[in-house]
Structure 1
Amino acid sequence: MTQDIYQNLTQLGAPTDLPKSPEEAVLERVPNPQAGTGYAVRFVAPEFTSLCPLTGQPDFAHLVLDYVPGDWLVESKSLKLFLGSFRNHGAFHEDCTVSIGLRLVETLSPTWLRIGGYWYPRGGIPIDVFYQTGEPPRGIWIPDQGVQGYRGRG
């Protein structure tokens, strides 16, 4: 593996402002040095935030993103900035969760991807949103997302 697979990255190793919106966010990718080897990658964002598009009130979620890379890996700082760009973005839980999954699929063309959005209650109702690209590939261990359903204080 050589350093030149990282030469086109524009955000890693430099101060980078949080994008103002998901549309402005730049998701960067690098060639997968283990392309052709089946393995799963997991990112967890336990403090994801967005805004209700009608009230402007904050919404909070625990996101779990699993993917089986093809030729590309997502660069993690760009993913962090992309997720952070939702902080001032108004959209329903379903739209946020699925939009993140679709944007990653568009950028990476992974072998397989799933995202679980475990949203904290607002108005007394938690909403969990799930998206995946299809059946998980055979022969690759993909663990349970490990997030329990909302139980309140009990």
Structure 2
Amino acid sequence: MTNSPELTKQEELKYGERAIAEGKLITFPNPRIGRQYTVNITLPEFTCKCPFSGYPDFATIYLSYSPDQTVVELKSLKLYINSYRDQYIPHEEVVNQILDDFVSACDPLEVTIKGDFTPRGNVHTVIEVHHQK
């Protein structure tokens, strides 16, 4: 790859950055429709940026859901979560946005998303949101 001015921004991205930028939540059919069960997912490397200071914020995101017709594909979830890395977004909004996007993609029977943010300046924040059909 050269530094040619003809290259677009998308072509300049490394393959991982491109996968994150193009990523969206993907689902597949629930293999056990009719049986209620819980899927627990932990995403320990979440990061975004504080919209006020620009400092990075780090969190562990806990996602717990009971699927209905579809189940989320884990690699797509990883890429989706990584897309927040350079976004300036408050803790409260990011957890609510993840919930909205997850419900829109998967339409689960119920889901709880918890963002456990690493303390900064002696303040520890945990945001938890829930949705039920």
Which band: TM-score by shorter chain? 0.7 to 0.9
Partner residue in 1 for 2:108: 110
Is contact 2:109-2:132 (8 Å) kept?
no
Let me know the Cα RMSD of the aligned residues.
1.6
Structure-2 residue corresponding to 1:19? 20
Runs of 5+ consecutive residues of structure 1 not aligned to the other structure: 1-14, 136-154
Match of 1:40 in 2: 38
Deviation of the 1:18 alpha carbon? 4.0
Q: What is the TM-score normalised by the length of structure 1?
A: 0.72
Q: Secondary structure at the match of 1:113?
A: strand
Distance, in Å, in 2 between the alignment partners of 1:107 and 1:119 is: 25
1:56-90 deviation digits (Å, cap 9, x = unpaired):
11000011100000000001000000000011111
Contact in 2 for aligned 1:18/1:85 (Cα 8 Å): no
Q: Which residue of 1 aligns with 2:11?
A: none
Contact 1:50–1:60 (8 Å) recurs in 2: yes
Partner of 2:78: 80
Matched to 2:81, the amino acid is L
Partner of 2:122: 124
For 1:89-129, what per-residue CA distance to the aligned partner results, in whole angstroms no more than 9, with x for missing partners?
A: 11001111111111100111100000111111122211100
Gaps of 5+ in 2: 1-14
Structure 1: which 4+ aligned runs deviate by more than 6 Å?
none
Deviation at 1:25, TM superposition (A): 3.5
1:54 maps to a residue whose letter is: F
Q: Percent identity?
A: 35
Partner residue of 1:68? 66
Aligned to 1:95: 93
Higher helix share: 2
**Partners of 1:18 and 1:84 within 8 A in 2:** no
**Aligned-partner Cα distance in 1 for 2:91–2:23:** 19
- Report how far residue 46 of structure 1 moved: 1.2
Matched residues in 2 for 1:33 and 1:128: separation? Answer: 33
CA contact (8 A) 1:51 1:90 kept: yes
